[in-house]
Amino acid sequence: MAWVALVISGILEAVWAVALGRSEGFSRPVPTIVFLVGLVASMGGLAYAMRTLPIGTSYAVWVGIGAVLTVAVGMVTGDETVNAVKLLLLLGLIGCVVGLKLAH
């Protein structure tokens, strides 16, 4: 169950990161609310997962999932450029996250 919570909280990290960028310095109410709710839920899931999983593994997986999804959203929306090197590096991050799960 801790791994499920960790993956969901990693997804929510991407949600709050994207919302933070779209809040324009907390001047737009809807993205600001999405940021706050996403942040609290993401941290709550991370904290729950850390009750069972090692801190280093939990944090690395959480950041990895959030980073990959945040960049992917940027690529889909056109805010990030897409190129072979970025895609290869993102695949490397995904591989590292999967590797941490398998090594646990």
Per-residue pLDDT tens digits of the chain, which is 104 residues long: 999 999 999 999 999 999 999 999 999 999 999 999 999 999 999 999 999 999 999 999 999 999 999 999 999 999 999 999 999 999 999 999 999 889 97
Q: Rounded to an integer, what distance in angstroms lies between the CA atom of residue 8 and that of residue 101? A: 14
Print burial letters for 56-73: b (CB count within 10 Å at least 16), e (below 16): ebbeebbebbbbbbbbeb
pTM of the model: 0.91
**Residues in contact with 32: Cβ distance below 8 Å, sequence separation at least 6, in sequence order:** 19, 23, 26
CB atoms within 10 A of CB 53: 20
Number of domains composing the chain: 1
Domain membership of residue 35 as a residue range: 2-103
CA atoms within 13 A on the CB side of 46: 23
